[in-house]
Structure 1
Amino acid sequence: MKLRQARPEDAPDICRIVNGIIRQTLVTFTTLERSPPDVAAEIDRLGAAFQVAEREGQVIGFASFGPFRAGPGYAHTGEISIHLAPRARRQGIGRLLIRRLEEVAADKGLHVLVAGISGANPPAVAFHAAAGFVQVGRMPQVGFKRDRWLDLILMQKILPPGPDGAPDSRGRAR
């Protein structure tokens, strides 16, 4: 198994993973499946902020981060997403992917990573807590899927500064 930056040609494998999650679970609130062209465009846009785990030439998991919210005041905060194929779970692959994302985020000058997690996904809450994220909020019944109201749990991790002198908590160079 190896980790690497995602490439546009990974889009079909990524779609198989995420679309299965969309169809079969309450892990994500969306009901709209992803298309390979849309995922390929996202990979191009995010660059190093989109990582995959690959085994025997096939993507078995992915993790990415993008802006948390629009506007310059949020420039040092990113929101992560991480998903694994069922056969790749509980093998430490998610832990490796999240560590890689943290490294890339720190290198890009991010100070905080945020995860928005479905209240119907306690294993993801435990996973993020084990990775050093702390719960900072719970928004009751903001999601709706499969005739069910779902809570959104917000977790965050404050990152150590990157090697290039990432800004301090006030956005100033160190």
Structure 2
Amino acid sequence: MDWTIRPAKTEDAAEIAAISNALIRNTLITFTTDEKAPAQIARTIAEQGDRFIIGVRGDQILGFAHYFPFRSGPGYRHTQELTIHLGPAARRQGLGRALMARLEEIARADGVHVLISGISSANPDAVTFHAAQGFEKVGHLPEVGRKQDQWLDLILMQKRL
């Protein structure tokens, strides 16, 4: 392990945007086609504080994870949705597992009862990854997303903390 995990800082936003925007441009793992501006990510980091974490090697950001409200309203306070993304150099090295474990620790301390992940059907590796981390498939929404002229299913997975 030659990386560390730490809370993101607003000055990390440009590197996080680069990872995120490459996935938006080049893959079907996210349904969005709108790239993220560093200023937008910096605001999210400022709002989320320690709930937005990154994996770094030296000065290079390798990946990130954070959680945010699943739905609005006080009844959903203890249910949060997560995002976890790795750059190509960080895949299959254990960083994803380490980011997820740290994110779960933070979530537990924050009173989160359930973490939810919405996964594109075009990303079966993410389904396998989440299952290996103890997430269960709880929903499959056929053809709810569209990107690059393809209909995509959304797979919902959850983990009770």
Q: Scaled by the length of structure 2, what TM-score is found?
A: 0.98
Q: Distance in 1 between matches of 2:73 and 2:19?
A: 31
1:8 equivalent in alignment to 2:20: no
- Give the Å deviation of 1:135: 0.1
> Which string of whole-angstrom CA distances, capped at 9 and with x for unpartnered residues, describes residues 132-158 of structure 1?
000000000000000000000000000
2:115 to 113, 116, 123: 113
* Structural mapping, 1:1-174, within 5 Å: 1-159=3-161
Q: Distance in 1 between matches of 2:82 and 2:22?
A: 19
Structure 2 unaligned segments of length 5 or more: list them: none
- Give the Å deviation of 1:63: 0.2
Structure 1 unaligned segments of length 5 or more: list them: 160-174
- Give the Å deviation of 1:56: 1.2
> Which string of whole-angstrom CA distances, capped at 9 and with x for unpartnered residues, describes residues 23-74 of structure 1?
0000000000000000000000011110000001111100000000000110
Give SS of 2:63's match. strand
Q: Scaled by the length of structure 1, what TM-score is found?
A: 0.91
Counting matched residue pairs gives 159
Identity %: 56
- Give the Å deviation of 1:99: 0.4
Give SS of 1:69's match. coil
Q: Distance in 2 between matches of 1:10 and 1:58?
A: 10
Q: Distance in 2 between matches of 1:138 and 1:64?
A: 23
Q: Distance in 2 between matches of 1:100 and 1:40?
A: 21
Runs of 4+ in structure 1 over 6 Å off: none
> Which string of whole-angstrom CA distances, capped at 9 and with x for unpartnered residues, describes residues 96-115 of structure 1?
00001100000000000000
Give SS of 1:91's match. coil
> Which string of whole-angstrom CA distances, capped at 9 and with x for unpartnered residues, describes residues 68-96 of structure 1?
00001100000000000001000000000
Give the aligned residue type for 1:45. Answer: E
Give SS of 1:21's match. helix
Superposed CA RMSD: 0.4
Give the aligned residue type for 1:12. Answer: A
